[in-house]
Each structure stands twice: as C-alpha cells, then as structure tokens.
Structure 1
Amino acid sequence: MELTAVDWLGVSVVVRWLLGWWLSRHLLPLPALCLEHAPSVSVLIPARNEEATLHHLLQGLAAQTLQPLEVIVIDDHSSDGTAAIAQASANGLPLRLVQPPPLPPGWCGKTWALHHGVQCSGGEVLVFLDADTEPAAGLLESLVAQQQRLGGLVSVQPFHRTERLYEQLSMLFNLVGLMAVPLGPRCGVAFGPAMATSRAHYLRSGGHQAVASRVVEDWFLAHCYEQEGLPVSAFIGDGQIAYRMYPGGLGDLVVGFDKNFATAAGEVRWPWMLAVVLWLSGLFWAAWCLPASLLGWPLVGDPNPLGHGVIYGAYAVQLLVITQRVGRFRWSPLVFPIPVLFFLGVFLLAIVNLERGSVQWKGRTVSTR
C-alpha cells in the first residue's frame, strides 16, 4: 500500500518522538559511592549578589557526611548583603570569606573569583559549588568518591527546583541542555554548578587561568583537562543536589539563558545537535498542529484534530516522564506550546546578542563571543 504525504509526515513525527526517548537514556544520576580514603577538601563558592540563595548552600554544607577542611566564599564585589549572609550562616563550618582584587581585563568575574579562591585554599581535593546550589547530606562524599574513582574532573548538573509560575518556562532549556551532550564517565562534558577535581589535576589542566575569558568556563575547562589526557565525567543531580535558577524574576531568567545559549551552542558536538534538532522539530510540530486544527489556523497536513491530539498527548507524556529527573516542572509538560514559544523567543534573542557581542549580567558586560 502506498503511503500518502500525510502518512509519511505522521511516521516522521513518531520517529522523532522515539528519538526523544533515545536522547534521554543517558541521563545518569551521580552514584552514591564510598570513599577510598577521606581527603582534605576545599569547597570554593563564587558569590556575586547571592544574598537570597547563599544560606541554603551553607546550611547544606553544615550537614554533610564528609566535612570539608575549609569552605571559602569568594565575594565577587557584591553590592548586596552577600558577605553578611556568609558570615551569619557559617553554622560551625570552617568558613572563610575572601574578596579577590578588582577584575582585571581579559577575565570573567566567576573565573577570576575561583582562580583567586584556589590560591587561598589548601585542600587535596577542590570542590566548586555555585552559590545557588542546595546539596543533600551525601553530596560531597559521593562527588569526591566519584572523583577518586574516575580521576580528572567530575561534575553534576543540579536538579532544577522551581517555585514561581514563570520558572516553568525554563523546562526546554533544562532538558535540551542535557539531551544535547553525552553524560556519564569520561563523557568529556562539565557542568559548572558542582565540580570536583584533585588539586594536582587542576593545576595540570591550567585551571581557571586557562579559561579566564570564557563565560561558560565549565565547557572550556573540560577541554583543558582532555588536552592533558585527563578524564572528564558528568552526571545529573537528581536526589543529590538542586538549585533554583534565576529566582530574581523573568528578566533574569531570559538574560541568564540567553548568555548561556549564545556562548555554548557552538560547543555542542554536531551529531548530538542534529539529533536534538530533529526531536525538537517533532515537538514544535505537535505544539502547532493541535491548536491549529482546533482553531482553524493555517495547517500543513490532515486538519483532523484527533490525530494531532494523539501526537500532542504522546509528547506531553514524554515530557512528564523525562523532566522528572531534570527538574520540578508540573504544568509545563502539559501545555508545552507555551515553553516552546518562550524557547524560540530566547533563541532569537541569543542570535541578536551573538551579533551584538555582549549582554548585561549582574552589573557587568558579558561577551557572547
């Protein structure tokens, strides 16, 4: 029997839907491992205007099963109460608050802060945690044990904890960012919010000085490790570490994803990018066709809403299942055309800012080139 153009289109969408399951198969959580031995650990936290989030991280560090040698909060010239919050939330931690010298030309704020923090530290193992992360009690032990087992650089992408309605719009950014890269042992990918490395391997890679000007320093730091023959491994943080991204409002969320989108897209390996684009094209089709068939909008293919409803439901179920490991997205998988529109809007804005060459972030001009 000869298939019509509509039939072929339906088969194509189903294949792209199946591709989504294939892309999500490698979302591996950080394993819970026992330490080979208990090393001295320096925890380094870059913090610029993080008064609303820092106390969650320090409370989590105080409850760790592996207690660090030192916790160094690098106050990156904050204009809010970050320094006071750090001192008030020490909770018995061996905490030091330091401030780097003024930002020199050729450096990003985060890379300069962490470079300075490492120079002030003394642990055998360096753990870098973003100030908005919220670790479970076993995070440090699991992360350091995995670094002992694998060597090189080990990182974790935190589970995205959402509270307010606008945060649901970030669903696709979280999901695509993980689908577009390989994960697991020796995958070659690093996530900046939570990373662990031995001091020896850090120095051998060139450290943050080698990626001084990079906005997405984690990606390029991973390259530096690989160039030195050191493994780079990455996992998801479901059950181990969470964060609430951009609690400052919708504007912060747009600019934050915009700068990461514009600077990191070129680093994704093309086979993975092609697979993600194919999956997204099926998702975009499903997001358009059901409303179009119901509302009489221009439509390519069968105008019957029943078939489009089945495809829409299949993608909604897929998003509900996959995002459970990535973040707390309650309603956005069910009304995914709204996050799709938001994703496309930020993507177009990222292209504009890529041409413009910069975005404004936390009071600084950040290069997108």
Structure 2
Amino acid sequence: MTVFLIAVHALLWTILLGNVVYLARSRPRPGQAVEQPLISILIPARNEAQNLTALIPSILTQSYSNFQLIIYDDDSTDSTSDVVGAELTDSRVSYLRGDGPPPGWVGKVSALYQASRQASGDIYLFMDADTQLLHRDSLSRIARIFQSESDTTVLTGLLGLAGKGRLLVSLVPFTILAALPWFLVRRLRSPLLSALNGQLWMIRAATYHALEPHAQVKNEILEDVEIGRYLKTSGVYPRLVNLTGDVSVRMYGSFADAWQGFRKNAYLIMGGRPLPFLVYLLVFAASTWLSPFVSVYFLISAWAIKVVTDRLASIPIAVSLVSPVSFILATFLQLDSAIGHWAGTIHWKGRNVTGD
C-alpha cells in the first residue's frame, strides 16, 4: 500500500508540474484582439439576481464591443427578471425566460441549449452567472487567445475564486490542476483525459452547431466534464488557460451553499460508480492508518500540492494553511454525495436533480 500511495503522489506531482508549465505558456497578455467577430455571451440564470448585478455591468463595459449578451432565465423565483430588465435598454442585451427544463433535461443544460438557438455570433462564450470580468480588456484578451488557436479548439479557463466556503471551493483548482494532465489532452486519444470548466468556455458557433454538445449531454449533472469528453471524441480539443487575472467566480454565498453545490457533483467527479469511490476512501484510510512518519509524509505532499494550486487560483494563504481540514471535509462530502445519489435525494435550487 505504501508503494501504491507513493505512486499516486508522484503522479499528482507530475500532472501538477506539467500543468504549471502548460499554463505559463498561455497566460493572457496586454493587447487587443486582432479581429472582433461577433461573440455571443450565453448565461443561464436561475435565481441569480444578486450575481447578475455584478456580472452584467462587467460585460457591458468591455472594450471589446462586438458582442451580444443572452441571458436565459430558467424559471427564477427571485428578482432576476428585474435585474436583467433594467439593462434591456442596451441593444446588445437579450432576455429569454423559460418555465423549466423539458423532461429528460438538466436545467442548466437546457437553458444554454435554448440560448444557443437564439445566438447569432461567430463565437459562443458560455459563462456562469456567478462569474465576473475583472478588467475592461478581459474579453478582448480571451478572444485574442481563442483566435490564436486552431478551429479544433474549445477554450476553457482557470478562474480566480471569490465568495464563501473556500475550504471546499479551493478544492476546485486542486482537482483541475492535479487530476487532469491538460498538457496531454491533444497527445493522448482517451476521452477520459478531457474536460471543461463549465464556469467559462468558448467555442466557434459553427463547431457548436455541428456537434450540438448540450443536446448530447442533456441529462448530465456534471455536463462540463461530459461535454469536454464528447468534444474530444469529435476532434475538438479543450485548451485550459489561466484567466485568474481576468475572470473571477463567486460560487457560493455560504459554507452551507457550497456543501449543497458540491454534494451534487462530488460523487460524479469520482466517476459516479462505487469502485472509484471506494478506492478514494481506501487511499484516504491508508494514508491515515500507516505509520506516523509515512502518514505525515503523505499529508505534507498533498498539502504542498494544494498550496501550489491555491496560489495559481489566487486563494488566500489562510485557506492554504488549513488544507488538511479541506481534505477531511472532502472525504465526508464524498460520503454525503454518494449517499445522496444512491438514494436519489440530491436537490439544487429547489429541484431534485437525481430523480425521485
């Protein structure tokens, strides 16, 4: 078991260091996009009034002006419609409202699919409602990076993290950077070595409509990972870019919200099957039950990995200092998520997303 754990940690370090080099080559630099094709910015919203008050102005003040903003309201019960309605005097803003997803569809997936039906841009930028562009040239820099890539590329980002529940939220960049070797996505054929960060991704409109990725994963809760894998099997490769200086995401307003949000995804990230879940628990238990010296070594190794990923995502050092707490919480979260999925009791924003 000790040899196995050493191999796991060596693999994590190899992936992380490879990704650090990979990201360093793609960091946005000052300057404008060479061209300004029409970008359709597509945002799903269900009870996102508070987040939209920050996101919409950050988009409308961009130096890159050739865009349309389409917000699809997925049957919100808060003041989302009022917040968006106040911006409809800007001709670039469109508001669509639905009455919930059709049978067999997950809400967010359906919302983005419906929004794409109304888009007319050459490029689609999918953003979550809790994101925010940090500088007036942010969209221009993202567009410039995307334009430098081949037609077989879908761009996705590592974003800066804000908001509450950072003991849990900080595990997002940890997972993105230490679990998936982005530098091998184009080199190895396996679709398992692919994903997207659903908080922000950009694709050419022609490619999107040729492949219809949202329609292909209409009932997937972890739709961004599945879209990334589907696109790769179709010859379109995800490219991860460090956008922490240009885009932030305020995922949750409290620790309780963070727990519920990750509860719906945690078990699925482990594959949504008992075996990977049990392997995770075995590794955690083995790291705890080994001799004190070996246990401390593995703890320090995992801790150091998280310190690196925290720095890349601009997470406060105070969160990094208590990383062992994050690891313990993650284990209990995995248990809670697995039980919820097995029992079909995962709820999010007033809906049961696993069925009754």
Q: Normalised by the size of structure 2, how large is the TM-score?
A: 0.81
Structure 1 CA distance, aligned partners of 2:211 and 2:68?
A: 23
Give the aligned residue type for 2:73: D
What letter matches 2:156 in structure 1?
S
Aligned with residue 126 of structure 2, among 121, 125, 128 = 128
Q: Which residue of 2 aligns with 1:365?
A: 352
| CA distance 1:257–1:174, change in 2 (3 Å) | farther
Q: Assess if the C-alpha contact under 8 Å between 2:346 and 2:352 holds in 1.
A: yes
- TM-fit CA distance, 1:32: 2.2
- In 1, Cα distance between the equivalents of 2:212 and 2:354? 22
Retained in 1: the 8 A contact 2:168–2:329?
yes
Corresponding residue number in structure 2 for 1:31: 27
CA distance in 1, matches of 2:300, 2:234: 47
Instruction: Tell me the equivalent position of 2:217.
Output: 211
Q: Deviations over 1:246-277 (max 9, x none)?
A: 11x22221121121122232289x9xx89x96
- 1:122 is paired with a residue of what secondary structure? coil
2:166 corresponding residue in structure 1: 167
| Residue 345 of structure 1, aligned match among 327, 332, 350 | 332
Q: For residues 40-61 of structure 1, what are the alpha-carbon distances to aligned partners after superposition, in whole Å with 9 as ceiling and x for unaligned? A: 1111111101112112211221
Conserved? CA contact 2:174–2:306, under 8 Å: no
1:79 partner amino acid:
T
Cα distance in structure 2, aligned partners of 1:188 and 1:20: 16
Amino acid at match of 2:204: S
Q: What is the CA-CA distance between 1:189 and the residue it aligns to? A: 2.1
- Work out whether residues 15 and 178 of structure 2, in 8 Å CA contact, stay in contact via their aligned partners in 1: yes
- State which drifts further: 258-267 or 197-206: 258-267
How far apart in 2 are the matches of 1:333 and 1:91? 44
DSSP 3-state at the match of 2:352: strand
Percent identity over the alignment is 23
* Letter aligned with residue 76 of structure 1: D
The equivalent position to 2:78 in structure 1, one of 71, 77, 80, is: 80
Q: Report the counterpart of residue 158 of structure 2 in structure 1.
A: 157
Alpha-carbon shift at residue 15 of structure 1 (Å): 6.9
TM-score (structure 1 length as normaliser): 0.79
Structure 1: which 5+ residue stretches go unaligned?
1-7, 289-298
Question: Would you say the 8 A contact 1:161–1:242 is kept in 2?
Answer: yes
Are 1:256 and 2:236 an aligned pair? no
- Report the Cα offset of residue 233 of structure 1: 2.1
Contact 1:215 1:366 in 2 (8 A): yes
Q: Which residue of 2 aligns with 1:97?
A: 95
Q: CA deviation at 1:204?
A: 0.9
SS at 1:215's partner residue?
A: coil
Give the 3 Å change call, closer, same or farther, for CA 133–283 of structure 1 in structure 2. Answer: farther
Deviation at 1:88, TM superposition (A): 3.0
Matched residue type, 1:85: V
Query: Which residue of structure 1 aligns with residue 252 of structure 2?
Result: 246
Rg larger in 1 or in 2?
1
Q: Secondary structure at the match of 2:336?
A: helix
The count of corresponding residues between Structure 1 and Structure 2 is 338
Distance 1:284 1:146, change over 3 A: farther
Contact residue 177 and residue 309 of structure 2 kept, 8 A? no
